Amino acid sequence: MEKVSVIVPIYNAGKKLNKCIDSILNQTYKNIEVILVNDRSTDNSLKICEKYKSIDDRIILINKKNEGSIQARKTGIDNSSGDYIMFVDADDWVDNNIVSIMYDELKKYKCDIVVSNSYKVFSNRAFIKKTIRIITLKRKNYM
């Protein structure tokens, strides 16, 4: 089973971070590493990350100077050891099957990039669904 590195760029996400990290750690696909890149948050985000790091050895915690989410993602990539990389924003949460589903789609279509469905949630009642896209760069097939 190939390893998936899940990279979470974090900046002042303390109010939603527990839900995000829990959703990643509870994946049905277990061969993951979770790279939490704290971009010098000024709230309790670092303490939350440290708590999770102390209870799950799949977590890598990087605390760096504030340079924005793009640089935080690059830092996560530089420190990853997975065969594949997935990004999750710190204020989001994911379905517990998302890594497995995306991995299966990646293998099924032999593609380079898989972008999953997402939902915009409003007050835990209404949501808007955005559709999945599979991008195959090797064969120049874009869906």
Q: Between 45-55 and 14-25, two packed helices, what is the crossing angle to 10 degrees? A: 20
pLDDT at 134 over 90: no
pLDDT one-digit tens code per residue, 37-48: 999 999 999 999
Q: Would you give the DSSP letter of residue 25?
A: H
- Average pLDDT of the residues in 60-65: 97
For residues 9 and 126, which has the higher predicted lDDT (pLDDT)? Answer: 9
E strands present in 88-142 = 113-115, 118-122, 126-130, 133-136, 141-142
Measured in whole angstroms, the distance separating CA 31 from the mean position of its chain's CA atoms is 14
Domains with residue ranges and CATH for the chain? 4-142 (3.90.550.10)
Q: What is the pLDDT of residue 143?
A: 44
Q: pLDDT value at position 28?
A: 98
Amino acid at site 103:
Y
pLDDT at 2: 96
Q: What is the mean pLDDT of residues 86-96?
A: 93
| 57 Cβ contact partners less than 8 Å away, ≥ 6 residues apart | none
For strand 84-87 and strand 4-10, is the pairing parallel, antiparallel, or unpaired?
Answer: parallel
Q: Where do the H-state alpha helices sit in 34-142?
A: 45-55, 69-78, 98-109
